[in-house]
Amino acid sequence: MKILAILAAAFLGTALTLAQSGPAFPLWPEGTTPGATGTTPKDIPDLTPYLPEKGKETGAAMVICPGGGYGGLAPHEGNDYAEFLRQHGIASFVLKYRLGSSGYRHPIMLNDAARALRLVRSRAVEFGVDPQRVGIMGSSAGGHLASTLLTHYDGGKADASDPVERQSSRPTLAVLCYPVVTLGEFTHQGSKKNLLGDNPSPELVDFLSNEKQVTKDTPPAFMWHTWEDQAVPVENVLQLATAMRKAGVKFDLHIYQKGQHGIGLQSRPPAFENPHPWAADLLVWLKVQGFVK
Query: Where are the chain's structural domains?
Result: 45-288
Q: Between 10 and 221, whose confidence is greater?
A: 221
Average pLDDT, the chain: 93
User: What whole-number distance in Å separates Cα of residue 206 and Cα of residue 272?
Assistant: 39
Span 93-137, pLDDT tens digits: 999 999 999 999 999 999 999 999 999 999 999 999 999 999 999
User: What whole-number distance in Å separates Cα of residue 214 and Cα of residue 110?
Assistant: 16
Whether the pLDDT of residue 1 is over 60: the answer is no
Q: Which of 16-20, 33-37, 45-49 has the lowest mean pLDDT?
A: 16-20
pTM here is 0.92
Q: What is the DSSP letter of 164?
A: G
User: What whole-number distance in Å separates Cα of residue 181 and Cα of residue 201?
Assistant: 18
Mean pLDDT to the nearest integer, 241-255 = 98
User: What whole-number distance in Å separates Cα of residue 224 and Cα of residue 177?
Assistant: 5
Span 212-239, pLDDT tens digits: 999 999 999 999 999 999 999 999 999 9
CB 262 within 8 A of CB 292: no
Span 151-203, pLDDT tens digits: 999 999 999 999 999 999 999 999 999 999 999 999 999 999 999 999 999 99
Q: In the prediction, which pLDDT does 182 show?
A: 98
C-alpha triplet 262, 264, 270: angle, nearest 5°: 145
Mean pLDDT to the nearest integer, 17-30 = 78
CB 80 within 8 A of CB 64: no
**Any residues with CB less than 8 A from the CB of 64 and at least 6 apart, and which?**
77, 78, 81, 82, 85, 92, 93, 94, 95, 136, 137, 138, 142
Pick the CATH number of 45-288 from 1.20.1070.10, 3.40.50.360, 3.40.50.1820, 1.10.3720.10: 3.40.50.1820
